[in-house]
Structure 1
Amino acid sequence: MSPPVAVSSGKAQSSAKAENAAPTLSEMQEAFQRAVISGDDAVLNEILDNSRTDRNVLFGVYRHAYAARLVEVIRNDHPFLSSYLGDDVFNEIARAYIEACPSRNQNARWFSHRLPDFIAETHPNEPHLAELATLERALNDAFDAPDAEPLALSDLAAVPPELWADLIFEPHSSAQRLVFTTNAHALWLSLKKEETPPQVETHPAPENIIVWRHETTPKLRRMSGEEAMMWNETVNGVPFGSLCELVAIYDDPDSAPLRAAQHLQGWIISGLLAKAQTEE
């Protein structure tokens, strides 16, 4: 009689085969991505050393290249911040940002979008840095904003005088008002002109900056306190008659309608408004 032979069950064989099976291409790609982005080293088990160095060094090339590419993405979005800080400090901040805010979008255009908030959190004693980053981001956003036909003075010519008080104006999609506590705007201007930046200053009162796109070019300028107040209320849907009343409270009531009209005319000429309609 032949001795009994131990035979593994089909289920056990399948389990052992599954454990030893090579990862699929999709699994390798996912493992590679996790290793590059989040530091998961599991993929190293699938990489062989070569005759000159080991797998850690080999894979480190990819990790370094990925981070270096993202640093350049951030630098392209914030060239004046980079110029102001210098390469060493900028690279340090950029790499810290990459570590804290890993990329979640396949479009690199949006990767640095949280940088101003990150700098505000990590450098609370240097608010000018976050504000400079905010200004550059706003200009980038203005360039990428959806197209919208700007309101023209001729569009208002047909509006009957009795309806003007009820007009509500819609801002252009690219328009964004910024409020700064430092002279970040002056820093940006000097860097743009390739001049030596001024000393950092804190404003006694907030500085209002409006950023928008005129045709295909991002623009920015300062707003007076009165104009900024009127713009803010305009964005909130306050009709023109009420805007005039607010301007009258802000300063000389006798000239308030004229000042409100001048602000409105300037916005229309600059392309800051997209639509005008009466209250429903």
Structure 2
Amino acid sequence: MSSSPLERLQRRFVRSVTFAADADLIAAVTGGGRLSAAEAIGVYRDAYPARLTEALGETYEACWRVLGDEEFFAAARDFIARAPSRSYNMSDYGEGFPEFLESRPHAEDAPFIGDLARLEWAFLRLFHTRAHEGLEPAALAAAAGSESILRLGAACVLLSLKHSVYGIWKRDRADDTPLEPTEWDGAQRLVLYKRGTNQIFARELSVPEHAALTALAQGRPLGAALDTAGLDEDGARELFAFAADARLIVAVVGG
């Protein structure tokens, strides 16, 4: 099916704003006030990277604080040049920014920056995810058996990071004390989740706890997930109690 004249005009406008000005578009539009058509389109071209930079700054606020204005804006400029937005929603922009930050020279001074960005991106995605209705603890306990498959809700994100960044992310904005290597030293595993409301909670996980929840998220039966993770009886009981209280589980299948 051929596109309509309006659709063709819209595509030319997008190309002119995100890449190079389209001569056919300039010929087809009229500038406003004293602006020529080319100058009017130029206003949008200038505003486009500024808006994407603003979107990155809103999503990766902690990374911005760590890097400072000069380095963050330079990184944003280079990223925008390589990765134009593919969505009408600005909050969708920046998925590849963590890996991009990790590849830049500043990563030698802030080796945790990629993981900090991953945490911020996960938080944003979860923020825009509707809170699920998890099973009540009593209902979960009554239904779950060793062969049961426990379905985790959509408003639950598991993270495995090479650096400890949760404390950096939570740091007070007014705290400009230089970060010490001990603050990011060591791997970190987290679960971010919503519990009935839009408030986001976080819990740091041990290696076995993260392995068990990951196995459950992959569809492994409860008993196999706990055995694979190497959790002892007390550890399994504690993790199950947390998952129940946090309403992480939305359904129990079989068992």
Instruction: Place the TM-score, normalised by the shorter chain, in its bin.
Output: 0.7 to 0.9
Residues 97 and 115 in structure 1, CA contact (< 8 A), matched pair in contact too: yes
RMSD, aligned CA: 3.1
Give the superposition deviation at 1:242. Answer: 2.6
- 1:269 to 2:251 alignment: no
For these two proteins, the number of residue pairs brought into alignment is 247
Q: Evaluate the alpha carbon distance shift between residue 85 and residue 191 of structure 1 in structure 2; reply closer, same or farther with a 3 A threshold.
A: farther
| TM value normalised by structure 2 | 0.81
Choose which of 23, 34, 37 in structure 1 pairs with 2:18: 37
Larger Rg, first or second structure (1 or 2)? 1
How high is the sequence identity, in percent, across the aligned residues? 23
Is 1:259 equivalent to 2:235 in the alignment? yes
Q: State the Cα distance separating 1:173 from its structure 2 match.
A: 0.7
Of 223, 235, 245, which residue of structure 1 is paired with 2:205? Answer: 223
Q: Counterpart in 1 of 2:46?
A: 64
- Over 3 Å counting, the alpha-carbon distance change for 1:155 and 1:107 in structure 2 is same
Assess if the C-alpha contact under 8 Å between 2:140 and 2:244 holds in 1: no
Residues 1:55 and 1:122: Cα distance change in structure 2 (over 3 Å)? farther
Amino acid in the other structure paired with 1:154: A
Aligned 1:90-239 pairs, distance under 5 A = 90-122=72-104, 125=108, 126-159=110-143, 164-191=145-172, 194=175, 196=177, 198-200=179-181, 206-214=187-195, 215-239=197-221
Could you tell me how far apart the structure 2 residues matched to 1:121 and 1:213 are? 32
Conservation of the 8 A alpha-carbon contact between 2:212 and 2:225: yes
Looking at structure 2, the residues matched to 119 and 144 of structure 1 have their Cα atoms a distance apart, in angstroms, of 23
Distance, in Å, in 2 between the alignment partners of 1:78 and 1:204 is 21
Q: Contact (CA 8 Å) 1:177, 1:208: kept in 2 or not?
A: yes
Runs of 5+ in structure 2 lacking a partner?
none
CA shift in 2, pair 1:81/1:103, >3 Å: same
Q: How far, CA to CA, are the matches of 1:241 and 1:148 in structure 2?
A: 24
| CA displacement at 1:148 relative to structure 2 | 2.1
Q: Is the 8 A contact 1:243 1:260 kept in 2?
A: no
Cα deviations by residue, 1:37-85 (Å, 9 ceiling, x for unpaired): 01245355668999x9987666443222111111111111222222222
Give yes or no for contact 1:180–1:207 (8 Å, CA) kept in 2: yes
Alpha-carbon distance between aligned partners in 1 of 2:219 and 2:200, rounded to the nearest angstrom: 24
Structure 1: which 5+ runs fail to align?
1-23, 251-255
